[in-house]
């Protein structure tokens, strides 16, 4: 039914939201697209950003950004001002900036499967960690010739890296610094009456939403209703589900960012998250849970945090109910990881990207930490833009 409605909605309501390249161009930047093919056939788009006047990228330190759940690479360049977009700030400091995408979102496809094929949506956090993140990092390093990169993740983008390094130990030598914005490993328990049944029995999510993409109609609704109304719907929904106020984010920023906030992912990925919340442990997808209806804890396979060896900066707000910083720190005790933290008073989950004062409260100290981590790097001036 949704497939039949899409062309009608597109005809009546023309595309009002530019893609990544158009968003960047509006701020004076150009974009180069790359495609990574994973071992299981997914095609993932990477966006490499350039300043128009710059003629050389070769030899520059690489910074890679990865988005969170139900978003895409656009997330990091949606600031209502250019100085509220961390990729641009790093670009201006001389970094080779890349942004990536998960399987399932608008910047991905498959060599044989289509979105109407149930197998296309058969992925959870495990596939992101085991396949997508390593494939992307290896591609970027092979292309640039750099030995390692700085990884900046937001929300689930941090989760995927934690999991990826636990599964793929060799990634530790390929990442020189890990910036985790609003880091999520084990979210705090969710108690709202609308959510509690899904936490108690995550398989209920599949019963309600199916086993394919999650809420694919949202983008149709986004195109079909006025932006102020869409903003209100998002505000109310986030407030009900996660008890957020959005007080630190201006109405202007919400109107700039909310239309891009949703990019489809799999129901299975969301089920995996609710398994983690239910168990209060950072573990791989539990297949047997589909048929489990008891309140007992399951025997799950944990992600092994002892394998993490990359210096890490955790940036979080003390009003973020999705971040349990104490549990996160507890997991890091399994390793000898060099952990630094920046706690921002009153900040909620999205505030580490979009708060009115984010340049001063988050981006400035993050840039300082990244520069410290790269203080011995050698700047290169030779080569071509499109190496």
**Is pLDDT at 11 greater than 70 in this prediction?**
no
Kindly report the backbone phi and psi dihedral angles of residue 341, in degrees, each rounded to the nearest multiple of 5, phi listed first. Answer: -135, 150
**Residues 294-327: b if buried by 16+ CB within 10 A, e if exposed:** eeeeeebeebbbebbbbbbbbbbbebbbbbbbee
Answer yes or no: 320 catalytic: yes
**Is pLDDT at 18 greater than 80 in this prediction?**
yes
Q: Which numeric CATH code is attached to 20-51+60-382? A: 3.40.50.1820
> pLDDT tens-digit profile of 282-305?
999 998 755 555 556 677 899 988
Kindly report the backbone phi and psi dihedral angles of residue 8, in degrees, each rounded to the nearest multiple of 5, phi listed first. Answer: -70, -45
Q: Where are the domains of the chain?
A: 20-51+60-382
DSSP characters for 270-292? HHHHHHHHHHTS-B---GGGGG-
User: How many angstroms separate the Cα of 292 from the Cα of each of 77, 212, 297?
Assistant: 42, 21, 10
Given a contact cutoff of 8 angstroms between Cβ atoms, the answer to whether 306 and 335 are in contact is yes
**Is pLDDT at 9 greater than 50 in this prediction?**
no
Token readout for 134 is: 């390593």
Which three-class secondary structure string do you get for 324-362?
CHHHHHHHHCCCCCCEEEEEECCCCCCHHHHCCCHHHHH
What mean pLDDT do residues 339-344 have?
96
- Report the Cα–Cα distance between both ends of the chain, in Å, rounded: 45
d(CA 52, CA 258): 28
pLDDT at residue 338 in the model: 77
> pLDDT tens-digit profile of 72-125?
999 999 999 999 999 999 999 999 999 999 999 999 999 999 999 999 999 999
d(CA 350, CA 359): 14
pLDDT at residue 190 in the model: 84
> Can you say whether the dihedral through the CA atoms of 331, 303, 374, 351 is positive or negative?
negative
What mean pLDDT do residues 197-213 have?
91
Given 73, 124, 135, 155, the catalytic residue: 155
**Is pLDDT at 10 greater than 50 in this prediction?**
no
Kindly report the backbone phi and psi dihedral angles of residue 266, in degrees, each rounded to the nearest multiple of 5, phi listed first. Answer: -85, 150
**Is pLDDT at 13 greater than 50 in this prediction?**
no
**Is pLDDT at 54 greater than 80 in this prediction?**
no
CA angle, corner 342, sides to 341 and 348, nearest 5? 120
pLDDT-derived band at 16 (thresholds 50, 70, 90) equals low
Given a contact cutoff of 8 angstroms between Cβ atoms, the answer to whether 159 and 349 are in contact is no
**pLDDT higher at 52 or 143:** 143
> Can you say whether the dihedral through the CA atoms of 90, 95, 96, 99 is positive or negative?
negative
Count of H helices and E strands in the chain?
Answer: 16, 9
d(CA 30, CA 52): 6
DSSP characters for 191-240? --TTTHHHHH-THHHHHHH-SSBS-TTHHHHHHHS-HHHHHHHHHHHHHH
DSSP characters for 86-147? HHHHHHHTT-EEEE---TTSTTEEESS--TTSGGGG---HHHIIIIIHHHHHHHHHHHH--S
What mean pLDDT do residues 212-236 have?
89
**Is pLDDT at 254 greater than 70 in this prediction?**
yes
Q: Which of 1-5, 86-90, 181-185, 266-270 has the lowest mean pLDDT?
A: 1-5
Q: Quick count: other Cβ atoms within 10 Å of Cβ 164?
A: 25
**Is pLDDT at 380 greater than 80 in this prediction?**
no
pLDDT at residue 291 in the model: 53
Token readout for 325 is: 């910083």
Answer yes or no: 55 catalytic: no
Q: Which of 125-129, 140-144, 267-271, 305-309 has the lowest mean pLDDT?
A: 305-309
**Residues 37-67: b if buried by 16+ CB within 10 A, e if exposed:** ebebebebbbbbbbeeeeeebbbbbbbbbbb
d(CA 386, CA 32): 8
Given a contact cutoff of 8 angstroms between Cβ atoms, the answer to whether 89 and 60 are in contact is no
pLDDT-derived band at 55 (thresholds 50, 70, 90) equals low
Of all residues in the chain, the percent with pLDDT exceeding 70 is 89
d(CA 164, CA 132): 9
> Please, what is the average pLDDT of the chain?
89
pLDDT at residue 372 in the model: 94
What mean pLDDT do residues 350-371 have?
98
**pLDDT higher at 118 or 306:** 118
> pLDDT tens-digit profile of 150-188?
999 999 999 999 999 999 999 999 999 999 999 999 998
pLDDT at residue 219 in the model: 80
Answer yes or no: 349 catalytic: yes
Given a contact cutoff of 8 angstroms between Cβ atoms, the answer to whether 90 and 68 are in contact is no
């Amino acid at each position: 039914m949704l497939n039949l409605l899409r062309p009608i909605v597109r005809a009546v309501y023309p595309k009002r939201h530019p893609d990544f390249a158009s968003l960047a161009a509006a701020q004076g930047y150009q974009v180069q697209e790359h495609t990574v093919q994973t071992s299981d056939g997914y095609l993932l788009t990477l966006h490499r950003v350039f300043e128009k006047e710059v003629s050389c990228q070769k030899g520059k330190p690489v910074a890679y950004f990865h988005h969170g759940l139900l978003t895409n690479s656009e997330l990091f360049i949606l600031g209502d001002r250019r100085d509220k977009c961390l990729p641009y700030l790093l670009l201006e400091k001389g970094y080779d900036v890349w942004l990536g995408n998960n399987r399932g979102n608008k910047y991905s496809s498959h060599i044989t499967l289509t979105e109407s094929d149930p197998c296309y949506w058969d992925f959870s956090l495990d596939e992101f960690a085991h396949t997508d993140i390593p494939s992307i990092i290896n591609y970027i390093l092979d292309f640039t010739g750099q030995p390692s990169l700085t990884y900046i993740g937001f929300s689930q983008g941090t989760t995927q890296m934690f999991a990826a390094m636990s599964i793929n130990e060799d990634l530790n030598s390929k990442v020189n610094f890990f910036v985790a914005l609003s880091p999520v490993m084990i979210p705090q328990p969710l108690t709202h009456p609308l959510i509690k049944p899904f936490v108690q029995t995550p398989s209920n999510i599949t019963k309600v939403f199916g086993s394919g993409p999650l809420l694919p109609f949202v983008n149709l609704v986004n195109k079909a209703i006025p932006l102020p109304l869409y903003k209100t719907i998002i505000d109310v929904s986030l407030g009900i589900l996660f008890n957020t106020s959005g007080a630190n984010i201006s109405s202007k920023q919400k109107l700039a960012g909310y239309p891009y906030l949703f990019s489809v992912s799999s129901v299975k990925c969301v089920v995996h998250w609710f398994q983690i919340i239910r168990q209060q442990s950072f573990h791989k997808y539990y297949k047997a849970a589909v048929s489990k209806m008891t309140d007992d804890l399951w025997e799950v396979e944990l992600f092994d945090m002892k394998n993490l060896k990359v210096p890490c900066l955790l940036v979080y707000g003390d009003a973020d109910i999705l971040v349990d910083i104490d549990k996160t720190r507890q997991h890091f005790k399994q390793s000898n990881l060099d952990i630094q933290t920046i706690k921002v008073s009153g900040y909620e989950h999205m505030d580490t990207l979009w708060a009115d004062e984010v340049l001063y409260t988050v981006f400035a100290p993050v840039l300082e930490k990244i520069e410290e981590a790269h203080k011995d790097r050698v700047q290169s001036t030779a080569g071509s833009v499109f190496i």
